[in-house]
Amino acid sequence: KIAQLQVFPRSEMLAFRDKQTVAPQVGQQLGANFIIEGTIRRSGNRLRITAQLVESSTRHSVWAERYDRQLEDVFAIQDEIARSIAQALRITLSPQEEKIIGIKPTENTQAYDFYLRGRSYTRRENMDYALQMFEQAIQLDGNFALAYAGIAHLCGLIYEIREQIPDWISRGLAACDRAMALAPELPEVMVARARLFYAQKKYLESELMARRAIERKRDCDGSWNILGRALLSNGKYEDAAKCSEQALEANGDDYNTYVPFSVCLERLGRKKESEHIRERMIVVLRKQLEVVPEDVRARILLATNLAYFGEAEESIRHLQTAVALRPNDGNTLYNAACTYGVLARKAEALEALKKAIAAGYGNLNWAARDSDLDCLHDDPEFRKLIGLGEADAS
């Protein structure tokens, strides 16, 4: 938001989360001149936020403050902290930066809390809960553009992997139109539209819309994931490879981002680079499960990646836990099939895929080209299951 500040991406900060690491150590490891650290404590509707800006080389505290406020003041505190940091670093904000810092996504903090919960559930592909959260947010603030964008994004995701019912696309487009009317330049709305284009198999339109979102907000949630998937589905593997590092720098805290870029590198025969992305993904997945052990998607993706590196015993343990937690979820069962496929357990992979399709998994175009299922691609039963004829390429 402030042009003169170079901020390190969230993904690079994951290694320091919840660790007793002092600011100078973090600054030295990252090569950062300044580190902002702090704590947030909540008691009922009261917040206590402490923040401190430390110069890495001298360990000198350039600025520090404590805020004891009501929950509804959280956006004002965010504004104050940003301005205080700029002032401490002797940065003069431009009128545009002043305007951006002052923007509030909603006046209703409870609505924003529901929105954040919905975004978290969407990332974990827990779609029913996500939809409820976004709907609750809109009930509290009928002009909350981000919540409408959340619903639009979710509708595209549901259509893609669970129910190919046109009503989901119609509902998503209506939510997108409403969000666009409220905030036409909001990058999250563009990401939602890109997801809907992707669900409709309009991959070029999806790519272009995702790029527009990234131009406006480089780390916009979900933007690099959908861009990678659009490039992968359109066979633009080289384009994806060129921007893979940018993607992980911007959205590397979201484990979903790693998937399409790893696959694209694999398709190009750049196995070592693909493996390196998988290794980085495993680190993020393990960290996520430390914080949110009930994240089934993170657990099943960890199972697949561990299988890739030959860690069969731990892989199967995570797979079984994930399936036990969500036994009727098509996407979880699909990824279980992928895990068995990577382990070359063909019969179990095919059985899990059957269960996934029976449970509603619908992205058969992805399954037809998924390298995790290579052991099945020439199997007549697999080809029949996903609707491939004799002349179709696997």
**In sequence order, what DSSP letters do the residues of 202-218 get, joined into one string?**
-HHHHHHHHHHHHHH-T
The continuous run of DSSP H or E covering 138 comes out as: helix 127-140
Which of the pair, 380 or 48, is modelled with greater confidence?
380
Joined together, the tokens standing for residue 85 give 């940091």
State whether the Cα torsion 172-249-339-290 is positive or negative.
Answer: negative
CA distance 77 to 14: 24
Find where tokens 């029949």 sit: 384
Report the chain's mean pLDDT, rounded to a whole number: 89
Q: The whole model's pTM is what?
A: 0.83
Helices (H) and strands (E) in the chain, counts: 21, 3
Query: Which pLDDT does position 392 carry in this prediction?
Result: 44
∠ Cα 116 118 120 (to 5°):
70
Residue 310 has pLDDT above 90, yes or no: yes
Contact present, 154 and 116 (Cβ < 8 Å)? no
Query: Which pLDDT does position 390 carry in this prediction?
Result: 43
Query: Which pLDDT does position 393 carry in this prediction?
Result: 39
**In sequence order, what DSSP letters do the residues of 221-268 get, joined into one string?**
TTHHHHHHHHHHHTT-HHHHHHTHHHHHHHHTTSGGGHHHHHHHHHHT
Domains with residue ranges and CATH for the chain: 10-102 (3.40.50.10070), 107-287 (1.25.40.10), 293-394 (1.25.40)
CA distance 260 to 373: 15
Looking at residue 383, its amino acid is: R
Query: Which pLDDT does position 12 carry in this prediction?
Result: 66
CA distance 204 to 228: 12
